[in-house]
């Protein structure tokens, strides 16, 4: 990720982003980005809506990684989260 763009957004607190930053945020989410998010998640946090805690994702990462990355990208492209 472009650290300059991240710093700009963090400091500016504005809705208008430079084109380069906007383009960067519109790219597909990589498997590595999703994995980093899972790894950095805290332990013993409250489970999500369906009762699945982060420990599940960490313990089963090798089996579910492709599906999770595909789901994240589907939400990015369709700009909605399914209620099911």
Residue 84 lies in a domain: no
In a domain, 48, yes or no: yes
Q: Is residue 66 part of a domain?
A: yes
**Count of beta carbons in the 10 Å neighbourhood of residue 1:** 11
Residue 20: partners with Cβ closer than 8 Å, 6 or more residues away:
2, 5
Q: Is the residue at 62 inside a domain?
A: yes
Residue ranges in the chain assigned as alpha helix (H): 3-12, 19-25, 31-40, 54-59, 61-78
Is 15 inside any structural domain? yes
Whether 83 is in a domain gets the answer no
Separation between Cα atoms, residue 38 and residue 32, nearest integer Å: 10
For the full predicted model, state whether its pTM sits above 0.85: no
Task: List the domain range (segments joined by +) for residue 48.
Answer: 3-78
- Domain-located, residue 39: yes
Is residue 47 included in any domain, yes or no? yes
The total number of structural domains in the chain stands at 1
Residue in this structure with the two tokens 């805290």, named with its chain if needed: 42
The predicted-structure confidence for 1-52, as pLDDT tens digits, reads as follows: 577 777 776 666 656 777 888 788 888 999 999 999 999 988 777 777 778 8
């Amino acid at each position: 990720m472009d650290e300059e763009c991240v710093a700009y957004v963090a400091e500016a607190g504005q809705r208008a982003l430079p084109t380069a930053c906007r383009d960067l945020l519109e790219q597909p989410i990589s498997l590595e980005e999703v994995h980093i998010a899972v790894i950095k998640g805290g332990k013993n946090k409250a489970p999500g809506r369906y009762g699945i805690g982060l420990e599940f994702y960490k313990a089963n990462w090798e089996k579910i990684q492709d599906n999770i990355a595909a789901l994240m990208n589907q939400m990015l492209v369709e700009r909605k989260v399914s209620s099911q």
